[in-house]
């Protein structure tokens, strides 16, 4: 709590603005500005699933930008021995479900369906699939497809 005095309009506007804070060591990339598509619709007009999806897309994009050409993004399961899922897609189902599509390191298809209140994702780097010349990148595609409406 601080001693700043705000009008009710300023307080309402501030509550609807998404905030992002990341602190890293000096060799980590600086956080990027939020895309306009994420800030056009106020947070209070988004479902928890949509808002979680949009933020996950940004984290995935940022993580991929740090990978070399020999690695792709995957996720581990926090608190589980279910293994690793190579992320090939994510989605959401309003109002409160987020899903991850992909495959395990052997190539078997996997899908994680999770309630936003239980969301806990560990992003990992896996070697790219040997049969692919270039690693798959999904982060940019996810962020570019966020619907501003």
Q: What is the pLDDT of residues 39-64, one digit of tens each?
A: 888 888 889 999 888 888 888 888 88
Averaged pLDDT for residues 135-143:
82
pLDDT digits (tens, 9 = 90+) for 78-101: 666 778 888 988 889 898 999 888
Give the chain's end-to-end CA distance (angstroms, integer): 33
Q: What is the mean pLDDT of the chain?
A: 79
Which pLDDT band, with edges at 50, 70 and 90, does 77 fall under?
confident
Averaged pLDDT for residues 2-27:
59
Q: What are phi and psi of 86, to 5 degrees?
A: -75, 115
Helix, strand or coil, per DSSP, at residue 30:
coil
How high is the pLDDT of residue 70? Answer: 92
Which of 81, 53, 84 shows the shortest CA–CA distance to 71? 84
The answer on pLDDT for 24 being more than 60 is no
Which two three-digit tokens encode residue 127? 């070697």
Helix, strand or coil, per DSSP, at residue 107:
coil
């Amino acid at each position: 709590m601080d001693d700043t005095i705000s009008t009710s309009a300023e307080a309402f506007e501030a509550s609807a603005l998404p905030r992002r804070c990341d602190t890293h060591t000096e060799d980590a990339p600086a956080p990027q500005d939020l895309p306009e598509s994420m800030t056009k619709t106020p947070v209070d007009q988004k479902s928890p699933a949509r808002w979680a999806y949009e933020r996950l897309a940004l984290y995935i994009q940022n993580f991929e930008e740090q990978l070399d050409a020999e690695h792709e993004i995957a996720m581990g399961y926090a608190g589980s021995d279910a293994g690793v899922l190579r992320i090939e897609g994510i989605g959401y189902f309003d109002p409160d479900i987020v899903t991850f599509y992909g495959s395990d390191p052997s190539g078997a298809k996997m899908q994680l369906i999770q309630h936003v209140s239980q969301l806990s994702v560990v992003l990992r780097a896996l070697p790219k699939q040997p049969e692919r010349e270039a690693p798959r990148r999904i982060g940019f595609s996810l962020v570019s497809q966020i619907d501003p409406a």
